[in-house]
């Protein structure tokens, strides 16, 4: 089985990043590293480092996207837990062999990383993202 390295991030879906920063940055005291547009995921993301991981505030940029529909249906809150792995392809092979329900059968390539989602039905209602850093 592919080695699990760490929790990479916890993603919180928000209506507006600037409004959410009132708590996460101004009241809790996390430092904002940067905000990035992620067109491939129809989102804008604020990165707030915590130890070796991050809290990511994720704002949909298209309310017809999966993330936008998620926000409309469930409201703001935790969206997913991201686990960083050494070999995402190997992890997906292992999980498929164990009968784990996957959203992504094949990892998606993004700048500097590869990612795939495990279905919440397989993980006690939690959407789990697998990440392999490629840079």
List strand residue ranges (DSSP E) for the chain, in order: 4-13, 34-38, 43-50, 53-60, 77-85, 108-110, 113-118, 128-133
What digits encode the pLDDT tens for the residues 77-123? 999 999 999 999 999 999 999 999 999 999 999 889 999 999 999 99
Q: Rounded CA gap, 8 and 85, in Å?
A: 9
Domain count of the fold of the chain: 1
Q: Are 62 and 110 within 8 A, CB to CB?
A: no
Q: Identify any residues that bridge with 7 across adjacent strands, giving them in sequence order.
A: 83
Which phi and psi (to 5°) does residue 87 adopt? -140, 95
What digits encode the pLDDT tens for the residues 36-90? 999 988 999 999 999 999 999 999 999 999 999 999 999 999 999 999 999 999 9
**Where residue 115 sits, what CATH number does that domain have?**
3.10.180.10
Range of the domain at 23: 4-133
DSSP 91: H
The CB density around residue 30, as the number of other CB atoms within 10 Å, is: 19
Question: pLDDT at residue 6 above 90?
Answer: yes
pLDDT given at position 135: 86
């Amino acid at each position: 089985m592919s080695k699990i390295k760490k929790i990479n991030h916890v993603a919180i879906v928000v209506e507006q990043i600037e409004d959410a920063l009132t708590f996460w940055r101004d009241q809790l005291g996390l430092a904002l590293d940067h905000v990035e547009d992620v067109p491939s995921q129809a989102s804008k993301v604020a990165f707030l480092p915590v130890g070796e991981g991050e809290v990511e505030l994720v704002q949909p940029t298209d309310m017809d996207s999966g993330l936008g529909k998620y926000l409309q249906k469930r409201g703001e809150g935790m969206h997913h837990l991201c686990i960083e792995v050494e070999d995402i392809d190997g992890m997906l092979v292992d999980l498929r062999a164990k009968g784990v329900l996957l959203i992504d059968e094949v990892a998606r390539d993004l700048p500097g990383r590869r990612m795939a989602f495990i279905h919440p039905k397989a993980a006690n209602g939690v959407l789990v993202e697998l990440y392999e850093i490629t840079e």
